[in-house]
Structure 1
Amino acid sequence: MIRHFLPVAALLLGSALLLFAGGINALLLPVRGSAEGFSATALGLLGTAWAIGYVSGCLLTPRLVGRVGHIRSFSVMCALAAVAILMSLVLIDPAAWLPLRAISGFCFAGAAMIVESWLSERTDPGSRGRVFGIYTMVNLAATTAGQMALTLGSTAGYTFFVIGAVFYCLALVPTAISSSAAPNPLVSVKLDLRGLWRNSPVAVVGVFLVGISNSAFGTLAAVYADRVGLVLTTIALFTSIPILAGAASQIPVGWMSDRVDRRKVLILLALLAMVADAAFILLAPEGRAMNLALAALFGASVFAMYPVILAHANDHAAEGSFIQTSGGLLMVFGLGSIIGPLAAGIAMSKLGEQGLFLTSVVAHALLILFTLSRIALRAAVAEKDKSGFVAATPGRPVTPETAAMALEVQQDQEKDAA
């Protein structure tokens, strides 16, 4: 077992350090911004800026890598991310934080793509599935650890900004000193809405609405928790528990979606999410236990939706178009992620903290209605014709390279089964 991971240990370490810093960065800004008196709209715009940067990184990083190579590109991404978080400390102002957050999103997408490309190239078919699984768990653990690290001190000073920058810089060290050869060029994607719509309307509409809901929660959950009076430790749990619940729920959800109409599974998940939405809105919980329990239910449902949608799209996709389909859906998810935090921020500014879940409940209701209409118009895919369900790391949008790795794992599993 160990021999399979030694060639990629440096890449896994680099990814862990990157995700740890990203976890700190993602939670620190809304908590500190809320303490500084930033409006919910301004804090929501941070998520919008990050999503714009992330989508841009997915589109432009392949060109950068083609010009200067993987190691230099990865070093640039980590260095710029460190500069962005440090400048966020120097310039504590919403107008300054927005472009800095966009830079962070760009760098995060680019660095993740480079690591994933390298990881895929360095693994042999016999161990690729296990390495992909370990990579997913490392990312999940590192993101959660980064968020929970904020409970060890106060966000009022400069400490966590500096710690985040330190770990961004440390992330470039393992790949910089690696002696392995640079991998193949990165996967390039483009948005083909007509092709995606012909393939699966449910996937297009669904992934857009899920992008709205998930990004709104990911950006403003800490602001909501702070405004209902939760302490910092509970705020960190409030943002971390949904990610862990989403990771755990993908096991039974994947099993179920491989055996019944995936659209019905998607509706079930949306209904569960609406239960959590409605409870947050109607009960307005202020206690620790109720908020954490509802956050777990919310995360278990919303963070399992994306892989179900992706699997449904691939059920209808032409053979050999997995990367094109998943890359296109990633771009649509990104468009939803641009809109979601802004819409939720405005709702919270006008209607109070429950505005976050009003945004989500509208997105989930629209998802259910549209999916029901498509079930009436189009028959389900036969079980024997379904593609494999591939879990996604909750709390972190996938990249085109993630999709490429997932395809390779699926192909290896099919070869083994044959």
Structure 2
Amino acid sequence: MVKSLLPLTALLMGSAFLLFAGGVNGLILPVRGEAEGFSAASLGLLGTGWALGYVAGCLRTPALVARVGHIRAFGAMCAIAAIAVLLSLIFLTPWFWIPLRALSGFCFAGAAMIVESWLNERSDAASRGRVFGVYTMVNLAATTAGQMVLTLGDTNGYFFFVLAAMVYCLALLPTAISATTTPRPLTQVSLNMKGLWKNSPIAVFAVLMVGISNAAFGTLAAVYAARSGLSLNEVALFASIPILAGAALQIPVGIASDRLDRRKVLIGITVFALIADALLFFSGAAQPMMVLAFSALFGATVFSMYPVIVAHANDHAEPGTYIQVSGGLLLVFGIGSIVGPTLAGFAMTLTGAASLFAVTGLAHIVLTLFAIWRLTTAPAVKEKDKVVFQASPLARASTPETAALGANQNELDADQQSDGLFENNTPKQEPEE
């Protein structure tokens, strides 16, 4: 295993730096914005801006890479992301932060796609699963470390903005000096709602609701925690513990979803998510440790839904469309991520911090009712038609290239031989100089 990973060290380092900087940037903005007196509505729009930029990056980066090459595009993405962070420090106003956050989302998505394309190219059939697993763990650890580093200094100064910018710049060095060969063109997915809905209505609807709830929490969790009286250390834990809990629960959830009807598993997870919504909604005066425990339950449920939904959609997908279905669902998740932070931000401004979990709870109620309706109107997938559950990184940090990297060799071969349900454009690749 070590032998197969050594040639990928530079790429994994670049990804780690990228996710670390993203973790710092993603948490310092709401924490500092709260200290500056920004409204919850304006802080929610930061998440909307990020999601808009991220979806645009997933759609536009393949053409950019085809025109200028992987190394130049990756360097430009990291440099612009660093500039966006520093401009956020210079202009301490939400009306500058929102477009800058969109720019960061675009660059982050583009840089992640390029790294994943490289990893996919360098992984053979025997090592792809191990590479994807290590890549997922590296990203999880880097994101968590980036969030937790905020506990080591003063968030009211300039240090963490400069740190995020520096680490974004560090992210481009491993690939810039690596002798790794230039990979194939990036996976480019066109959003085809009719085709996705025909493939699996519950997957489309569920991933939209999950996008709303997860993005609302990811953007405004720090605001809720701060307004609930938690210290800075506890705010960082409140943002990080759910991610770790969600990653841990994917293992038992995956086992259950491979053995049972995935829709029933999804309903069960969502019921526990509703319990967590209610606990956090009413926990304003609770002890910090209790609030953190509630956040762990929330994260364990909401961050384990996405891979179940993708697996259910791929159970119904025709051979040759697995990657396209996964990529299409990711874009639907992005649409939900645009809506969720805006709704939650305005709700928190009007009725208080606890309404964050009224918004997530409403999304989970609607998801549960739709899933129960589909359970009574559509038959379960036969065991022989099920794909193997694949644990995944956070959907908010995934791209169409993540789906390609996580696919097994049979799925990749089928995807290359079939036009499938969706348009899969692979632009002509310009050679690196």
Shorter-chain-normalised TM-score: which range? Answer: over 0.9
| 8 A contact 1:53–1:102 mirrored in 2 | yes
Aligned to 2:112: 112
The residue type paired with residue 310 of structure 1 is: V
Distance 1:410 1:39 in 2: 50
Deviation at 1:410, TM superposition (A): 7.0
Deviates more, 1:254-263 or 1:390-399: 390-399
- Runs of 4+ more than 4 Å apart: 409-412
Deviation at 1:396, TM superposition (A): 3.7
| 8 A contact 1:276–1:295 mirrored in 2 | yes
The residue type paired with residue 398 of structure 2 is: V
**Are 2:234 and 1:234 equivalent residues in the alignment?**
yes
Aligned to 1:20: 20
Aligned to 1:89: 89
Deviation at 1:126, TM superposition (A): 1.6
Deviation at 1:411, TM superposition (A): 5.0
Aligned to 1:378: 378
In structure 2, stretches of 5+ residues that fail to align are 415-433
Q: Counterpart of 1:393 in 2: which secondary structure?
A: coil
Q: Counterpart of 2:407 in 1: which secondary structure?
A: helix
Deviation at 1:2, TM superposition (A): 2.1
| 8 A contact 1:117–1:183 mirrored in 2 | yes
Aligned to 2:392: 392
**Are 2:142 and 1:142 equivalent residues in the alignment?**
yes
Distance 2:229 2:409 in 1: 44
| 8 A contact 1:285–1:291 mirrored in 2 | no
Cα deviation digits, residues 276-319 of structure 1 (max 9, x gap): 00111233344211110000000000000000000000111111
Equivalences for residues 340-351 of structure 1 within 5 A: 340-351=340-351
| 8 A contact 2:117–2:401 mirrored in 1 | yes
Aligned to 1:67: 67
Using the size of structure 1 for normalisation, the TM-score is 0.97
The residue type paired with residue 221 of structure 2 is: A
Cα deviation digits, residues 133-157 of structure 1 (max 9, x gap): 1110000000000000000001000
Aligned to 1:333: 333
Distance 2:2 2:186 in 1: 27
Aligned to 1:193: 193
Cα deviation digits, residues 104-154 of structure 1 (max 9, x gap): 000110000000000011122221211111110000000000000000001
Distance 2:142 2:409 in 1: 23
Cα deviation digits, residues 258-282 of structure 1 (max 9, x gap): 0101001110111000000011123
Deviation at 1:240, TM superposition (A): 0.3
| 8 A contact 1:210–1:333 mirrored in 2 | yes
| 8 A contact 2:274–2:364 mirrored in 1 | yes
Percent of residue pairs identical: 63
Aligned to 2:54: 54
Aligned to 1:165: 165
Distance 1:149 1:296 in 2: 19
Distance 1:284 1:152 in 2: 26
| 8 A contact 1:18–1:171 mirrored in 2 | yes
Aligned to 2:183: 183
Distance 2:397 2:173 in 1: 24
Are residues 173 and 319 of structure 1, via their aligned partners in 2, closer, same or farther at CA, if it must alter by over 3 Å? same
In structure 1, stretches of 5+ residues that fail to align are none
Deviates more, 1:37-46 or 1:400-409: 400-409
Cα deviation digits, residues 322-379 of structure 1 (max 9, x gap): 1111111111100000000000001101110111000000000000000100111101
Deviation at 1:62, TM superposition (A): 0.2
| 8 A contact 1:151–1:233 mirrored in 2 | yes
Equivalences for residues 308-327 of structure 1 within 5 A: 308-327=308-327
The residue type paired with residue 213 of structure 1 is: S
Deviation at 1:395, TM superposition (A): 6.5
Cα deviation digits, residues 375-417 of structure 1 (max 9, x gap): 11101001121011111113743100000011136759x9xxx
Aligned to 1:38: 38
Equivalences for residues 120-131 of structure 1 within 5 A: 120-131=120-131
Aligned to 1:221: 221
Distance 2:55 2:358 in 1: 26
Q: In angstroms, what is the RMSD of aligned CA positions?
A: 1.4
The residue type paired with residue 332 of structure 1 is: V
Q: Counterpart of 2:238 in 1: which secondary structure?
A: helix
Q: Counterpart of 1:191 in 2: which secondary structure?
A: coil
The residue type paired with residue 230 of structure 1 is: L
Distance 1:2 1:278 in 2: 45
Cα deviation digits, residues 217-251 of structure 1 (max 9, x gap): 00000000000110010100000000000000000
Deviates more, 1:76-85 or 1:124-133: 124-133
Q: Counterpart of 1:283 in 2: which secondary structure?
A: coil
Distance 1:409 1:238 in 2: 38
